[in-house]
C-alpha cells in the first residue's frame, strides 16, 4: 500500500512535534524513520497508525483519506519496543488472537486459523515454542511472536516502533537481519522507527532522517551516508568532524590558512564536515591545514589520531583515522587534507 503524508503538522501545546512533514512511502518498501530522541518519529508513526491526530495536513492510504478511518479500519499491524503479548496466553494463542476476535461473519473456521498460525510460527522460526507462555521466552523470541501476531491479520502496513530497542546488541543484530529477510519474503509496506543508525542503514530500503519535527533527508542508506543533504545529517549519520571555515570559490580558509579546495558554493561563513577516515595526514605545507598531534589510539585495524587545528578565535580538536604504518607521533606537526568532505553554509 502507498502511504502519502502531506504537510502534516502536530503541536503539543506550544511545542511543534511535527512541522510540515511530507513523505511518500511506496508500496512494499521498508522505510526507517531515524532521528535523535524527540525528533518526532513516534508522533509521525502514531499519526499514520490512527493513534494520534495531526493539527494540519493529510494522510492518504492508496489515495484514500486515512484520517477519516479508525485504527481498525486502517488495517495496520504494530510491534512496539515493550512486548505487548498476553501473559496468560500461549505463543499459539497470542498469534491466533487477532484472527479469533474478528466479527463472526468475517472469522475464519478453526482449521484455517490453525493453518495460518502454523504458517506464521514457521515464518518467524519459533515453531517449537508454540505451547510456551511469554514468561518462558527470551526477549528476542517474544519480539518474533509479537511480529507474528501483528502479521496474522495480514495488515496493509506494518508499523515497528523500536522493536528491538530493549534487546542486547547481539540479539538486535540477529533480529535485524532476520527482519530484512522476512521483509524480502513478504513485501508488506513497513515503517520502522529507530534512533539506531546502524539498524536503519542495514535494514531499510530508504531512510527518513528526522530532526526537530522536520524531515532533513529521505534517501537510500548509501545516499544518506555518502551524500548527506544537510549539516544535521552529516553530523548525525556516521562519524564526522566539523571545522568552521570561510569559503571563497575554489578555496577554503580555516583559522586564517587558505587551501585550494572547492568551497562547494559556500561564500563566506560555513562549516566543513569530514569523516575521520577521509582526512589524509601529510607533511605540513601550503596546501594542507595545519595540525598538531595530541593523542594516538589504536582502534581495530586503524589508529585514531586526535589533532589540534587552529580555527578562527581558537583551536579545534578533530579526529582522523589512519592506517597502521602511517601513524604520526604525539606532538608532531602535520598537514591535513580533507579528501572527501562537504561544506554547508552558516
Ligand X SMILES: Nc1ncnc2c1ncn2[C@@H]1O[C@H](COP(=O)(O)OP(=O)(O)OP(=O)(O)O)[C@@H](O)[C@H]1O
* Grid cell in block for residue 38: 524527540
Question: What is the per-residue DSSP string for 205-264?
Answer: SEEEEEETTEEEEEE-HHHHHHS-SSHHHHHHSS--EEEEEEEETTEEEETTEEE-S--T
Q: Judged by CB under 6 A, does residue 195 bind ligand X?
A: yes
Closer of 207 and 281 to ligand X (Cβ): 207
Round to whole Å and give the CA distance between 137 and 167: 13
Least distance between ligand X and beta carbon 18 (Å): 8
Least distance between ligand X and beta carbon 8 (Å): 12
Round to whole Å and give the CA distance between 132 and 125: 14
Q: Judged by CB under 6 A, does residue 40 bind ligand X?
A: yes
CB atoms within 10 A of CB 139: 14
Q: Judged by CB under 6 A, does residue 37 bind ligand X?
A: yes
Closer of 15 and 111 to ligand X (Cβ): 15
Q: Judged by CB under 6 A, does residue 38 bind ligand X?
A: yes
Cβ 216 vs Cβ 209: under 8 Å: yes
Q: How many of the chain's residues bind ligand X (CB under 6 A)?
A: 12
Residue burial 274-310, b: 16+ Cβ < 10 Å; e: rest: bbbbbbebeeeeeebbbbbbeebeeeeebbbbbbbbb
Using CB under 6 A, which of the segments 10-18, 62-70, 85-93, 215-223 binds ligand X?
10-18
Q: Judged by CB under 6 A, does residue 172 bind ligand X?
A: no
Look up residue 286 and give its DSSP letter: T
Closer of 42 and 143 to ligand X (Cβ): 42
Least distance between ligand X and beta carbon 228 (Å): 19
Closer of 214 and 277 to ligand X (Cβ): 214
Round to whole Å and give the CA distance between 308 and 105: 72
Residue in 8, 39, 116, 192 binding ligand X, rule: CB under 6 A:
39
Least distance between ligand X and beta carbon 45 (Å): 8
Least distance between ligand X and beta carbon 150 (Å): 19
Residue in 42, 94, 143, 189 binding ligand X, rule: CB under 6 A:
42
Q: Judged by CB under 6 A, does residue 270 bind ligand X?
A: no
Residue in 5, 23, 32, 43 binding ligand X, rule: CB under 6 A:
43
Binding residues among 14-33 for ligand X as defined by CB under 6 A: 15, 17
Q: Judged by CB under 6 A, does residue 255 bind ligand X?
A: no
Nearest of 281, 254, 255, 270 to residue 339 by alpha carbon: 281
Q: Judged by CB under 6 A, does residue 81 bind ligand X?
A: no
Nearest of 287, 276, 232, 226 to residue 254 by alpha carbon: 287
Least distance between ligand X and beta carbon 193 (Å): 6
* Distances from the Cα of 227 to the Cα of 7, 33, 63, 108, 273, angstroms: 25, 18, 31, 50, 11
Using CB under 6 A, which of the segments 21-29, 34-42, 282-290, 322-330 binds ligand X?
34-42
Q: Judged by CB under 6 A, does residue 35 bind ligand X?
A: yes
Q: Judged by CB under 6 A, does residue 34 bind ligand X?
A: no
Closer of 8 and 279 to ligand X (Cβ): 8
Least distance between ligand X and beta carbon 38 (Å): 4
Residues near ligand X, by CB under 6 A: 12, 15, 17, 35, 37-43, 195
Amino acid at each position: 500500500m502507498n502511504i502519502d503524508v502531506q504537510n502534516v503538522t502536530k503541536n503539543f501545546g506550544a511545542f511543534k512535534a511535527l512541522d510540515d512533514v511530507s513523505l511518500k512511502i511506496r508500496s512494499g518498501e521498508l522505510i526507517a524513520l531515524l532521528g535523535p530522541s524527540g525528533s518526532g518519529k513516534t508522533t509521525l508513526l502514531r499519526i499514520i497508525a490512527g493513534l494520534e491526530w495531526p493539527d494540519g495536513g493529510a494522510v492518504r492510504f492508496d489515495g484514500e483519506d486515512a484520517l477519516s478511518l479508525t485504527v481498525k479500519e486502517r488495517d495496520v499491524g504494530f510491534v512496539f519496543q515493550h512486548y505487548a503479548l498476553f501473559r496468560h496466553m500461549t505463543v499459539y494463542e497470542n498469534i491466533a488472537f487477532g484472527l479469533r476476535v474478528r466479527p463472526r461473519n468475517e472469522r475464519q473456521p478453526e482449521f484455517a486459523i490453525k493453518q495460518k498460525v502454523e504458517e506464521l510460527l514457521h515464518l518467524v522460526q519459533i515453531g517449537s515454542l508454540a505451547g510456551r507462555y511469554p514468561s518462558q521466552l527470551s526477549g528476542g523470541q517474544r519480539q518474533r511472536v509479537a511480529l507474528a501476531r501483528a502479521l496474522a491479520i495480514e495488515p496493509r502496513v506494518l508499523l515497528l516502533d523500536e522493536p528491538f530497542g530493549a534487546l542486547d546488541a547481539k540479539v538486535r543484530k540477529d533480529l535485524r537481519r532476520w527482519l530484512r529477510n522476512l521483509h524480502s519474503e513478504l513485501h508488506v509496506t513497513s515503517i520502522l522507527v529507530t534512533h539506531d543508525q546502524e539498524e536503519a542503514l542495514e535494514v531499510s530500503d530508504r531512510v527518513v532522517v528526522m530532526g526537530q519535527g522536520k524531515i532533513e533527508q529521505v534517501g537510500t542508506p548509501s545516499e544518506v551516508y555518502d551524500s548527506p543533504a544537510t549539516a544535521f545529517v552529516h553530523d548525525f549519520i556516521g562519524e564526522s568532524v566539523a571545522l568552521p571555515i570561510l569559503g571563497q570559490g575554489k578555496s577554503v580558509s580555516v583559522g586564517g590558512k587558505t587551501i585550494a579546495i572547492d568551497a562547494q558554493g559556500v561564500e563566506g561563513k560555513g562549516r566543513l564536515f569530514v569523516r575521520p577516515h577521509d582526512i589524509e595526514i601529510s607533511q605540513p605545507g601550503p596546501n594542507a591545514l595545519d595540525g598538531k598531534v595530541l593523542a594516538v589510539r589504536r582502534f581495530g585495524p586503524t589508529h585514531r589520531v586526535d589533532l589540534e587545528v587552529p580555527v578562527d578565535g581558537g583551536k579545534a580538536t578533530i579526529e582522523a583515522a589512519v592506517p597502521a604504518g602511517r601513524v604520526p607521533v604525539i606532538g608532531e606537526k602535520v598537514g591535513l587534507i580533507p579528501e572527501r568532505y562537504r561544506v554547508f553554509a552558516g
